[in-house]
Amino acid sequence: MRKPDFVYVIYIQTTPEKLWNALIDPEMTKEYWWRHRNRSDWKPGSAWSHENYDDSSKVDIIGTVIESDPPRRLVLTWANPAKASDPSKVSRVTFDLHPLEHEVRLTVTHDETYPEMLSSISTGWPAVLSSLKTMLETGSAMPMARESRSLK
Amino acid sequence: MDEVFKALADGSRRSLLDRLHARNGQTLGELCDGLAMTRQAVTKHLAILEAANLVATIKHGREKLHYLNPVPIHQIGERWIKKFEHDKLKALSELKRRLESRDA
C-alpha cells in the first residue's frame, strides 16, 4: 500500500458521538464546511456526495463509503464527479476519532491523491478542520468557512 | 498555543518542518539524511514538534512516518487575520516574492 499523502490531526473538546454527527449532519456541515452537505446513508458500499447546501445540483465530490464504524472510523473514496470513472483519479479519505479524557483526537488521512488535487486539499483541510473545532467548542463556526466555496 | 510558538522558535525545528513540507511522510532516518544534527537531536526536536501537534505520526507497515500538520498554524492565522485581509496579504506576499526574486 502506498503511504498516505496527507495526515491532519486536530484535538477537539467534544465527544466522539457529537463529532461523528458533525461530519454527516447537513445542518452542521453547512456551518463549517463552506455551506456544503455530505449526503449518504453512511452504510458500507453506499454512495456519498459533497454538495452545495442550497443547490444540490452542484456536486463537488462523489465517492463510496468503504468503512463506517460510528463513532470511531469513517473511510470514503473521494473524487471529482467529472473524473470519478478514472480509478487513478479516485482518492481516499479516512476519519479516525480517538477519544481522550476531555477531548477527541480527529485524524484525517488523505491517500491516493494526484497532483492536480493536491493544492485544493492542502489549503482546504486545515481551514475546514479549524472551523469544525471552533463550531463544536464555541457553537459557531469561522465566518470564512460558512460561505459557499466549491472544491474540485 | 504556547507550545506551538515555543516549538516554532527554533531554527532546527523549522528546518525539519521545511523538509516535511517539501516531502511529507518521512521516516526518522530519511529526515536525518544530510542534516548536520545527530539522530538523538532530531528525535528530541520531533518529540517537541509532535507535542505541539505540528508533526503527526502514523504507523505504515513497520515504519513510523512523520507528516507536517499545518492545522495549528492555520489556527494562528485565523486568530489574527481577518477575512477581508486575506486577499490583500496574499497580494503583498506575492509582490515581495516577485521583487526579491528579480533582485536575486
Question: What are the tens digits of pLDDT across the range A78-103?
Answer: 999 999 999 999 999 999 999 999 99
Cis peptide bond prior to A71, omega within 30° of 0: yes
Tell me if chain B has a CB within 8 Å of the CB of A96: no
Rg of chain B (C-alpha set): 16
What count of CB pairs under 8 Å joins A to B? Answer: 54
Tell me if chain A has a CB within 8 Å of the CB of B56: yes
Tell me if chain A has a CB within 8 Å of the CB of B67: yes
What is the rounded (10 degree) CA torsion for A17, A19, A25, A29?
170
Reduced to 3 states, what is the DSSP secondary structure of residue B63?
strand
> Between chains, do A144 and B83 touch, taking CB under 8 Å as contact?
yes
pLDDT reported for residue A152: 47
Q: Is residue A144 over pLDDT 60?
A: yes
Give residue B93's Cα distance to chain centre. Answer: 18
Tell me if chain A has a CB within 8 Å of the CB of B94: no
ipTM: 0.84
> Between chains, do B24 and A5 touch, taking CB under 8 Å as contact?
yes
Mutation target for A interface from B1, B57, B75, B87: give the one with most A CBs within 10 A: B75
Give kind and range of the element (H or E) at residue A37.
Answer: strand A36-39
Give kind and range of the element (H or E) at residue B44.
Answer: helix B39-51
* Ranges A33-37, A142-146, B11-15, B50-54: which has the least confidence: A142-146
Q: How far is A7 from chain B (nearest CA, A)?
A: 6
Task: Output A84-92 pairs: Cβ under 8 A, ≥24 positions apart.
Answer: A88/A114, A89/A114, A89/A117, A90/A63, A91/A5, A91/A117, A92/A66
Tell me if chain A has a CB within 8 Å of the CB of B93: no
> Between chains, do A142 and B78 touch, taking CB under 8 Å as contact?
yes
Q: Which residue has the cell 528530541?
A: B44
Q: Which residue has the cell 458500507?
A: A44
pLDDT reported for residue A78: 95
Instruction: Tell whether domain A6-111+118-138 is in CATH 3.30.750.24.
Output: no
